[in-house]
Chain A
Amino acid sequence: MAGIIEVRGLSKTFVTKDANVEALQGIDLSIGAGDIYGIIGMSGAGKSTLVRCLNFLERPTAGTVEIEGRDLNSMSEKELRAKRAEIAMIFQHFNLLMQKNVTDNICFPLLYGGVGKKDGGTRGAMTKKEARKRAEELLEIVGMSEKAKAYPSQLSGGQKQRVAIARALAANPKILLCDEATSALDPQTTQSILQLLKQINREYGITIVIITHEMSVVREICSHVAIIGGGRLVEQGKVADIFEHPKTKEAKELIVKGRGEERRTLESRQRDLMKGKCCVRIVFSVNSSFEPVIANMVLRFGQPINILRADTKNVEGIARGEMILSLPDDVKLQEEMKAYLVERGLAVEEVDGYVV
């Protein structure tokens, strides 16, 4: 079955004074309706150029892009503009009008996007009043109702992206292109934006294409993924398959890099676990690794303890084991356990969430 987006043999060459830069070479993609399709690559791989070719903000040098079976190459400028209104886009830096408030930003595509009614388009199909009403509904969906009158400079990054998503949804698009939409956001905000995108995909059946350099984003919400490296498509398929059996060097590299990101997410979850608990960090020197200290301690006190993290760190060329333990709530027991660990020659230090 043909997908909602079919890319065949797409190449893009930028002509500069000194040289021709081949940003993309012979890309083939098939994106199914309702998919959340990740396009991942290191920076400079050409993924941002690729996403701009999907709505012809950049015209490809060669190859075709078909949206719902219609070749964008065959369209007039006017038809193309009408088509773009059905392909919404959000950006890394949100790209909201700074001089307009949230409501006016969301009304923009309703009042001025696409082509005019005279040309058979939909622009101006809504009165200002109707557009405002639609903006209100959209703000409800993205959870920003109370900020309707605020200006973008008064909002946080995550809030701005929510407004940008509302603006993107305004004209009932079939496709949503996300160009590094979470790259300027912190991990928690990234999570909430990804959840929102997931919800939009589920409830409105909008096909989402996500451009990112973060493997964690792909793993979190994408059903399919394409890996771009050096302007070429190196691997594509279902996310689960690629994670289990990465074939190419690029895929493996991204997955390894993704582990680091995963650890950061885990660490932030860990911090939540540690809140209100008595936690200690113990460091094993070379000798102490002979004795099963933790196991012995559990046997001795008859109390379970929770290992929040265990890691080996290379400090000045010597491998040192490090663990973070969450001790039972009983204060007396805590003291006894700490004393026990110190007796075994371990460095023991009480920590709170921020030390990790």
Chain B
Amino acid sequence: MWFSDPAVWEEVLSTAQMMWDGLLETLAMTLLSTLFGYILGLPIGVTLAVTDRDGIRPNAAVYKVLDVVANIIRSIPFLILLILIMPVTRMLVGKSYGTAATVVPLTVAAAPFIGRMIESSLKEVDHGVIEAAQSMGAGTMTIIVRVLLVEARTSILVGVTIALGTILGYSAMAGIVGGGGLGDIAMRYGYYRYESEIMIVAVILLVVLVQIFQTIGMKISVKLDRRKR
């Protein structure tokens, strides 16, 4: 029988090991890129929201520059961006392939997109509350930290959830250039070697990951929202 054959078990075990490694790589790529994406994207988004015409510190020049740059980066297809910034990646990480190297283009792609989401979250904040803070003599930084980011908290967290899902999708594409992770596995086995079983398992794992991110993200954002009775 096949299950008494140690060779079969060995293969199952090594496949499981590969999947596990792929899962961890995907998680690492996604979480790190999201983190770096927010480190870059949060200031971008705040600046966009604050310097816009009806923001608290309108500045047409700053807004326009950020606006155009963010749009340019967002309109470059991720795959092209990945290849375009390889020199930068090599400079930062030392090589242009592998999991760590993928974090660089992922972050670059994510930052303007995250900035846009932050911008729209902050613009949802009721202008009256901002005016109230101004009437108390609060300055621009105080209003950003103590009013905008606080009042937009729920919306920002929903944004984080969306960002995680999107970046996870991008990370799978990085498999094409040997980026590692579940997407890489699905690509190598499914596309190049026609071993569709392995591809299916990898894709299912990706789906499950997105579901988990989505569920946890929404739970947290709802829990932290004080606007309900």
Q: Which residues from chain A sit less than 8 Å from chain B, CB to CB?
A: 55, 57, 80-85, 87-89, 91, 93, 95-101, 108-109, 112-115, 151-154, 164, 171, 177
Taking a contact as CB atoms under 8 Å apart, the answer to whether A98 and B226 are in contact is yes
Chain-A contact segment, one of B30-38, B127-135, B169-177: B127-135
Asked if A115 and B131 sit within 8 Å, CB to CB, the answer is no
A55: nearest chain-B partner, CB-CB: B135
A84 touches B137 (CB 8 A): yes
Answer whether residue B193 sits at the interface, using C-beta atoms and an 8 A cutoff: no
Q: Min CB distance, A26 to chain B, in Å?
A: 25
A120 vs chain B, min Cβ distance (A)? 13
CA distance A66 to B138 in the complex (A): 21
Output the least CB separation between A125 and chain B (Å).
13
19 A–B contacts from the bound complex (CB under 8 Å) = A57-B131, A95-B132, A97-B151, A98-B126, A98-B227, A99-B154, A99-B224, A99-B225, A108-B146, A109-B136, A109-B137, A112-B133, A112-B138, A113-B136, A113-B138, A115-B137, A151-B227, A154-B229, A177-B135
A89 to B146 CA separation, bound complex (whole angstroms): 18
Q: Which residues in chain B, 136-190, are within 8 Å of chain A measured between CB atoms?
A: 136-139, 142, 146-147, 150-151, 153-154
Query: Which of B128, B151, B228, B229: most chain A Cβ within 10 A?
Result: B128
B128 — nearest CB in chain A belongs to which residue? A95
A153 touches B142 (CB 8 A): no
Q: A115 vs B226: C-alpha distance in the bound complex, in angstroms?
A: 29
**B contact residues around A84 at 8 Å (CB):** 134-137
List of A residues within 8 angstroms of B126 by Cβ: 93, 95, 98
The B contact surface, by secondary structure, is helix
- Is the Cβ of B131 less than 8 Å from the Cβ of A100? no
Q: Please judge, given known A-B contacts A91-B131, A95-B126, A112-B146, whether A101 and B226 are in contact too, CB under 8 Å.
A: yes
Contacts of B133 in A (CB 8 A): 108, 112-113
Residue in B136, B138, B153, B229 with the greatest tally of chain A CB atoms within 10 Å: B136
* Residue in B137, B147, B153, B226 whose beta carbon sits within 8 Å of that of A114 in the complex: B137
Q: How far is the CA of A112 from the CA of B144 in the complex (A)?
A: 12
Instruction: List the A side residues contacting B135 at CB < 8 Å.
Output: 55, 57, 84, 87-89, 177
Please report the C-alpha to C-alpha distance between residue A287 and residue B133 in the assembled complex, in whole angstroms: 65
Q: A88 and B136: CB pair below 8 A?
A: yes
CB-CB under 8 A from A81, the residues of chain B are 137-139
Query: Which 10 pairs from chain A and chain B are nearest by CB?
Result: A113-B136, A84-B137, A95-B132, A95-B128, A81-B137, A89-B135, A85-B137, A114-B137, A109-B136, A151-B226
A171–B227 alpha-carbon span in the complex (Å): 26
Q: Are A112 and B142 in contact (CB under 8 A)?
A: yes
Are B131 and A95 neighbours in the complex by a CB distance under 8 Å? yes
| A55 CB contacts on chain B under 8 angstroms | 135
Whether the pair A95, B129 counts as a contact (CB closer than 8 A) is: yes
**Which residue of chain B has its CB nearest to the CB of A121?**
B137
When distances are taken between beta carbons in the complex, the residues of chain B under 8 Å from A113 are 133, 136-138
Return B197 CB to nearest CB of chain A, in Å.
Answer: 48
Residues of B within 8 A of A (CB): 126, 128-129, 131-139, 142, 146-147, 150-151, 153-154, 224-229
Q: Which residues of A are found within 8 Å of B146, using beta-carbon distances?
A: 108, 112
> Which residues on A sit within 8 Å (CB–CB) of B150?
97, 99-100
Residue from B132, B227, B228 whose CB has the most chain A CB atoms within 10 Å? B132
A171 in contact with B136 given A99-B153, A100-B226, A153-B228 (CB within 8 Å):
yes
B131 touches A114 (CB 8 A): no
Could you tell me if A91 and B132 are in contact, using CB atoms closer than 8 angstroms?
Answer: yes
How far is it, in angstroms, between the C-alpha of A95 and the C-alpha of B138 when the chains are bound?
Answer: 15
User: In the complex the two chains form, is A89's CB within 8 Å of B227's CB?
Assistant: no
Which residues of the other chain, A, contact B134 by a CB distance below 8 angstroms? 57, 84
Residues B132 and A89 in contact, CB atoms below 8 Å apart? yes
* Complex Cα spacing A24 to B218, Å: 47
Please indicate the chain B residues that have their CB under 8 angstroms from the CB of A96 in the complex.
129, 132
Residues on the A chain within 8 Å of B151, using CB = 97-99
Contacts A89-B132, A113-B136 known; list 6 others, CB within 8 Å.
A57-B134, A84-B135, A109-B136, A109-B137, A151-B227, A177-B135
Which residues of chain A are within 8 angstroms of B138 by Cβ–Cβ distance? 81, 112-114
Contact check, A153 vs B226: say whether CB atoms are below 8 A apart: yes
Smallest CB gap from A83: residue in B: B137
- B144 CB to closest chain A CB, in angstroms? 11
Closest-by-CB residue of A relative to B132 is A95
* Min C-beta distance of A21 to chain B, whole Å: 16
Q: Write out the residue numbers on chain A whose beta carbons fall within 8 Å of the beta carbon of B226.
A: 98-101, 151-153
Residues of A within 8 A of B137 (CB): 80-85, 109, 113-115
Chain A residues with CB below 8 A from B227, complex form: 98-99, 151, 153
In angstroms, Cα B229 to Cα A250, docked, is: 43
Question: Once bound together, how far apart are the Cα atoms of A170 and B40, in whole Å?
Answer: 37
User: In the assembly, what is the distance between CA of A114 and CA of B126, in Å?
Assistant: 21
A173 to nearest B CB, angstroms? 9
Q: Which residue of B lies closest to A153 (CB)?
A: B227
